[in-house]
Amino acid sequence: MSVSPEHFTQATEIAQRLQAEIGRAVVGQSDAVRATLASLIAGGHVLLEGMPGLGKTLLVKALAKTFAGQFARIQFTPDLMPADVVGHAVFDLKNQTFAVRKGPIFTHLLLADEINRAPAKTQSALLEVMQERQVTIEGESHPLEAPYMVLATQNPIEQEGTYPLPEAQLDRFLVKVMMDYPSADEELALARLTTQNRVGDGLDVAAVNTVIKPETVVTLQQVAAHVRVDEQVLDYTVRIVRATRDWPGIGIGAGPRGGIALVRLARAWALLEGRDFVTPDDIKHCALPVLRHRVAITPEAELEGLDADRLLRGLLEQLPAPRA
Amino acid sequence: MNLDQLQIDARPRPYWQAIDLGMALLRRHARTVYLSWWAIWATLAGLLALLTPQDWLMWNWLVLWWLRPLIERSTIFILSRAVFNEEVGVRDTLRAWPAQLRLGWLRTLTWWRPIVIGRGLWQPVWQLEGARGQFASQRRRVLGARGAYGSAAWYGVICAHFEFVLQFALISLLGIFLSDPDSITPFLLLQDEFAPGSWENHLPLFTYLLSGGIMGPIYTAGCFTLYLNRRAELEGWDIEITLRKLAHRRSSQLLASGKAAATLLLACLCWLALPAPEAQAAPDCSQLPKTNKYGMPVRATASRPASQGSAQTAIRADIDRLAAGPEFSVWECRETWQAKKTVEDKEREADPPPKWLQDLFGDFDGPNLPVAEILKVTFITLLVLLVAWLLFRNRALLGRLLETRDKDPQPTPAHEICGLDIRPESLPDDVPSSVLRLWRDGQRRAALALLYRASLSRLAHAQQLELAAGFTEGDCLAVARQAQQRGTLRAATLEFFTELTRHWQAAAYADRWLDDERFSSLCRSWRASIGDER
């Protein structure tokens, strides 16, 4: 596919409209919205982490509505089995054949709520599908319809009785988005919006308009893949990723997949910024969401009260920007 | 002190038996001891509960604990009289208690004495013996010797554990009853913080009141009989009592027979008149042969054969002259006391340590062994090396700590941003002309880079924008925006810098160049926008 400058302009317009539409339902959380949208355009999956009630489900529902995508939600529990997620084959007595009953995973946007509550077996089933983008039931492969994106949430509190995702599986997520409490003004606007002339506290995405079709998202992804990345920017990306491996306070650095993910997200980010080329700024902006779940900090740093974000910020501050 | 009245079997016992004797004593006088203790103990606790400010209620039990040595004196008062068959009541004890405190109460409560766990052994020294100062220290040392203090301290440790268990059990018991029926936890009262004014704030004092009220007299009684045992051991109370009994029996017989008394008196006098064994063994100087240090008799005047000539006479005169000299004529008899040599001394003398060991350790009996000095220096050196090694091992951690401390202030201005040298001296005098010249020569990248770095240089040095080495173009722009919002940067400058950054990024990372006319106009506006900022 050849991509002309007009394509880039159109893609940017669409991406910015999608962002604006999501903003009609989700008050505040602009960084989370932007990172989630960029991940969709980059074709990656998102791990959302934040306290309960910060609008994680609303964000996903609003995003699904913007491109008329199907949306499914699975509440992960300790007794959830892989078949409950991916589906299973049942014997049809009338036809004397096995009929495949597809699980909720067959959708465009899947919200895997509290993924760390399910046992490792179920988590692995989901993570495998995320990687392969196809489901095998009774030996038969069922490809998932594009665009396909999993948004898994984790609750930073109530760690009792959870099965934390292993580092290797965390790597499957393109970004880890932290949702923080909204600012005072945002919270005031949120309270006003959700309580005025409204019954109940249900999430309302009625204000969100559908902008594109699911196929357009695939086109957007293709356009984003053609965003230019200069050699120096690529070099800067690799230097950042390599620096995480021997940076004081970081025990396990990011692997090569981290660098690849960083470039992918930076391309989508540049598109959202209205550019058809990636700048070091895009890389710097994307570094935290892409790398924070791919590095493991040392126990000493943890005891000092440092976290991955703070260490990575220090790294980005000190690592020289590319030589133009 | 009349040992005849002593109600306990005063003989040296193992220390644990002595403490057990205290328990027996306490059982016999439990009513008086506990009532007296509680009368003072509960009163003090009540006063503390009333007078302590709300914020300090959780800690007022420490004051009660601090005052405890004073209350222990009431128990010692009762038991010290009980062992001599003198019964005192609760009322007498309470009346006598202030007087018991008079003897060194301040010293009991100050310095480190309240926290000395074996202080129970020493309390009678201050209270009953009235010892003070240097004498008291000596008495404490003597009484505490031969493991007595260790036993008192361990007994104190055991009692403290029982106290803790009682206190904890009480809090847990209350916790069980006060818990939510669905989640019963004995630790409820330990976990929660209570509102001011709530009764739970008095729990530490209340539980310490109960546990201390039970264990306090037990500890004091055990230590008191340990003290008595030590004194019996030191002063030979058992021997004295036996002798007294013997004397009493004898005297009754002797009174009946004056002859026997006279005989005893005579025997005693004879015994006193006898010389000491050492004196008896010592030889009388007058009886010893008078010899000089060579074993030759002094002033040898034995008969000599007649001299055989003048030569012999001269020789004899010489010999006599020499023999009369100090070398041969001095005879000394010195009487001194000397300690008997023990078997170990003799063995040591018989088998002296090897010379190298003597050289190393010097005099074994000397106060300062050279090896101790060597060990001291070695240990200090090892300690210093250990600290140095720990610092070296954790240098990364220290470095980070220092780094974060240093990082908190604003970053230092960088000389290089995005690989561009931004020092003013690195720039040509006429920037626009140099830039245009480069552009016309076809060095577009160099021209735009020079323009961009000249702008950065002006912003960093003339406008004092704080640009760090790790800044990207976007970061520099963000800092410029903040400066404009603060009013330290002109809007026109920011506008120009934004546009220049956009062109620079497009050229550097997308190889997209602006046309000649646009570039010329950018150069022209540079001087007005940024170039004049000096």
Q: Which residues of A touch B475 (CB under 8 A)?
A: 281, 284
Provide CB contacts within 8 A for B352, sequence distance 6+. Answer: B358
Provide CB contacts within 8 A for A45, sequence distance 6+. Answer: A39, A130, A149, A150, A151, A152, A172, A173, A174
Provide CB contacts within 8 A for A275, sequence distance 6+. Answer: A12, A227, A282, B510
Q: How do A175-179 and A46-50 pair as beta strands? A: parallel
How confident is the model at residue B412, as a pLDDT? Answer: 52
Whether A319 has its CB under 8 Å from any CB of chain B: the answer is yes
How confident is the model at residue B256, as a pLDDT? Answer: 58
Of B400, B407, B449, the CB nearest to A248: B400
Q: How do A71-75 and A46-50 pair as beta strands? A: unpaired
Cβ pair B419:A322 closer than 8 A? yes
How confident is the model at residue A322, as a pLDDT? Answer: 77
Q: Which residues of B touch A318 (CB under 8 A)?
A: 469-470
**pLDDT reading at B405 higher than 90:** no
Task: Calculate how close chain B gets to A318, using CA atoms only, in Å.
Answer: 5
Whether B46 has its CB under 8 Å from any CB of chain A: the answer is no
Separation between Cα atoms, residue B194 and residue B207, nearest integer Å: 16
Whether B467 has its CB under 8 Å from any CB of chain A: the answer is no
Interface test with chain B among A226, A239, A279, by most B beta carbons within 10 Å: A279
Of B401, B474, B510, the CB nearest to A277: B510
Separation between Cα atoms, residue B500 and residue B450, nearest integer Å: 12
Mean pLDDT by 10 residues, chain A (324 residues): 75 85 80 87 87 80 83 84 80 81 83 82 81 79 83 74 76 86 82 71 72 84 86 89 88 88 91 87 90 87 82 85 68
How confident is the model at residue A262, as a pLDDT? Answer: 92
Phi, psi of A277 (to 5 degrees): -145, 150
Cβ pair A281:B475 closer than 8 A? yes
How confident is the model at residue B409, as a pLDDT? Answer: 45
Task: Kindly tell me the sign of the dihedral angle through the C-alpha atoms of B520, B523, B524, B529.
Answer: positive
Residues 270-299 of B with CB under 8 A from A: none
**pLDDT reading at B415 higher than 80:** no
Task: Kindly tell me the sign of the dihedral angle through the C-alpha atoms of B447, B452, B458, B460.
Answer: negative
Contact of B36 with B75, CB cutoff 8 Å: yes
CATH architecture label of B416-531: Up-down Bundle (1.20)
Contact of B120 with B219, CB cutoff 8 Å: yes
Interface test with chain A among B472, B477, B513, by most A beta carbons within 10 Å: B472
Contact of A82 with A125, CB cutoff 8 Å: yes
Position B386 confidence tier, pLDDT thresholds 50, 70, 90: very high
Of A248, A275, A321, the CB nearest to B396: A248
Task: Kindly state the average pLDDT of the residues B253-274.
Answer: 53
Task: Calculate how close chain A gets to B445, using CA atoms only, in Å.
Answer: 9
Q: How many CB atoms lie within 10 A of CB B182?
A: 5
Position B278 confidence tier, pLDDT thresholds 50, 70, 90: very low
Domains of chain A: which residue ranges?
Answer: 1-77+107-130+143-210, 227-324
Cβ pair B509:A316 closer than 8 A? no
Task: Give the nearest chain A residue to B417 (CA atoms).
Answer: A321
Question: Closest by alpha carbon to A45, among A140, A136, A161, A165?
Answer: A165
Is residue B432 classed as helix, strand or coil in its secondary structure?
helix
pLDDT in tens, B150-181: 899 999 999 999 999 998 898 888 888 877 77
Separation between Cα atoms, residue A272 and residue B10, nearest integer Å: 98
Domains of chain B: which residue ranges?
Answer: 3-235, 341-409, 416-531
Helix axes B61-82, B90-101, angle to 10 degrees: 110
Question: Closest by alpha carbon to A72, among A48, A106, A43, A49?
Answer: A106
Task: Give the nearest chain B residue to A299 (CA atoms).
Answer: B397
Task: Kindly state the average pLDDT of the residues B2-29.
Answer: 83
Mean pLDDT of chain B: 78
Provide CB contacts within 8 A for B187, sequence distance 6+. Answer: B172, B175
Residues 502-521 of B with CB under 8 A from A: 504-506, 508-512
**pLDDT reading at B99 higher than 50:** yes
Cβ pair B470:A318 closer than 8 A? yes
Task: Calculate how close chain A gets to B418, using CA atoms only, in Å.
Answer: 5
Question: Closest by alpha carbon to A12, among A268, A266, A285, A211?
Answer: A268
Separation between Cα atoms, residue B149 and residue B230, nearest integer Å: 10
Separation between Cα atoms, residue B38 and residue B212, nearest integer Å: 10
Residues 70-109 of B with CB under 8 A from A: none
How confident is the model at residue B263, as a pLDDT? Answer: 52
Phi, psi of A135 (to 5 degrees): -120, 135
Phi, psi of A145 (to 5 degrees): -75, 135
Question: Closest by alpha carbon to A258, among A175, A200, A152?
Answer: A175
pLDDT in tens, B439-457: 888 888 888 888 888 888 8
Most confident of A104-108, B262-266, B345-349: A104-108
Task: Kindly state the average pLDDT of the residues B222-226.
Answer: 92
Position B219 confidence tier, pLDDT thresholds 50, 70, 90: very high
pTM of the predicted structure, to 2 decimals: 0.51
How confident is the model at residue B118, as a pLDDT? Answer: 82
Q: Which residues of B touch A280 (CB under 8 A)?
A: 418, 472-474, 509
How confident is the model at residue B287, as a pLDDT? Answer: 65
Whether B468 has its CB under 8 Å from any CB of chain A: the answer is yes
How confident is the model at residue B299, as a pLDDT? Answer: 59
Write down the CATH superfamily of domain A227-324. Answer: Magnesium chelatase subunit I, C-Terminal domain (1.10.8.80)
Separation between Cα atoms, residue B444 and residue A64, nearest integer Å: 46
The two structure tokens encoding residue A253: 């650095």
Separation between Cα atoms, residue A114 and residue A75, nearest integer Å: 7
Separation between Cα atoms, residue B449 and residue B505, nearest integer Å: 10
Whether B34 has its CB under 8 Å from any CB of chain A: the answer is no
Whether B469 has its CB under 8 Å from any CB of chain A: the answer is yes
Tell me the one-letter amino acid at B82. A
Whether B352 has its CB under 8 Å from any CB of chain A: the answer is no
- 3-state SS track over chain A: CCCCHHHHHHHHHHHHHHHHHHHHHCCCCHHHHHHHHHHHHHCCCEEEEECCCCCHHHHHHHHHHHCCCCEEEEECCCCCCHHHHHEEEEEECCCCEEEEEECCCCCCEEEEECHHHCCHHHHHHHHHHHHHCEEEECCEEEECCCCCEEEEEECCCCCCCCCCCCHHHHCCCCEEEEECCCCHHHHHHHHHHHHCCCCCCCCCCCCCCCCCCHHHHHHHHHHHHCCEECHHHHHHHHHHHHHHHHCCCEEECCCHHHHHHHHHHHHHHHHHCCCCEECHHHHHHHHHHHHCCCCEECHHHHHCCCCHHHHHHHHHHHCCCCCC
Phi, psi of B495 (to 5 degrees): -60, -45
Provide CB contacts within 8 A for A185, sequence distance 6+. Answer: none
Cβ pair B473:A279 closer than 8 A? yes
Q: How many CB atoms lie within 10 A of CB A52?
A: 11
Cα A237 to Cα A95, A227, B108, B484, B501: the distances in Å are 57, 15, 72, 31, 21
pLDDT in tens, B175-204: 888 777 777 777 777 766 666 667 777 888
Instruction: State yes or no: cis peptide before A147, omega within 30 of 0.
Output: yes
Whether A249 has its CB under 8 Å from any CB of chain B: the answer is yes
Whether B396 has its CB under 8 Å from any CB of chain A: the answer is yes
Beta-bridge mates of residue A297:
A250
Task: Calculate how close chain A gets to B508, using CA atoms only, in Å.
Answer: 6
How confident is the model at residue B274, as a pLDDT? Answer: 45
Position B387 confidence tier, pLDDT thresholds 50, 70, 90: very high
Separation between Cα atoms, residue A28 and residue A193, nearest integer Å: 12
The two structure tokens encoding residue B1: 């002190």
Position B2 confidence tier, pLDDT thresholds 50, 70, 90: low
Q: How many CB atoms lie within 10 A of CB A157?
A: 7
Cα A7 to Cα A15, A221, B199: the distances in Å are 12, 12, 75
Hey, which CATH number is domain A1-77+107-130+143-210, 1.10.10.10, 3.40.50.300, 3.40.50.920, 1.10.10.60? 3.40.50.300
Contact of A313 with B411, CB cutoff 8 Å: no
> Distance between terminal CA atoms of chain B?
101
Whether A281 has its CB under 8 Å from any CB of chain B: the answer is yes
The two structure tokens encoding residue B395: 């240098």
Q: What DSSP string describes B388-424?
A: HHHHHHTHHHHHHHHHHHHHSSPPPPPSEETTEE--G
Question: Closest by alpha carbon to B470, among B528, B409, B401, B414?
Answer: B414
Q: Please tell me if the domain spanning A1-77+107-130+143-210 has the same topology as the one spanning A227-324.
A: no
Position B133 confidence tier, pLDDT thresholds 50, 70, 90: confident
Position B433 confidence tier, pLDDT thresholds 50, 70, 90: confident
Whether A284 has its CB under 8 Å from any CB of chain B: the answer is yes
Task: Give the nearest chain A residue to B508 (CA atoms).
Answer: A324
Task: Calculate how close chain A gets to B178, using CA atoms only, in Å.
Answer: 26
Query: Quick one: what percent of chain B has pLDDT higher than 90?
Result: 11
Is residue B519 classed as helix, strand or coil in its secondary structure?
helix
Cβ pair A304:B399 closer than 8 A? no
Of A232, A278, A319, the CB nearest to B470: A319
Whether A321 has its CB under 8 Å from any CB of chain B: the answer is yes
Burial string for B360-375 (b: 16+ CB within 10 Å, else e) reads eeeeeeeeeeeeeeee
Contact of A142 with A106, CB cutoff 8 Å: yes
Task: Kindly state the average pLDDT of the residues B459-464.
Answer: 76
Cβ pair B472:A321 closer than 8 A? yes
How confident is the model at residue B279, as a pLDDT? Answer: 42
Of A279, A300, A314, the CB nearest to B474: A279
Task: Calculate how close chain B gets to A148, using CA atoms only, in Å.
Answer: 31
Whether B400 has its CB under 8 Å from any CB of chain A: the answer is yes
Contact of A269 with A233, CB cutoff 8 Å: no
Measure CA A107 to chain center.
15
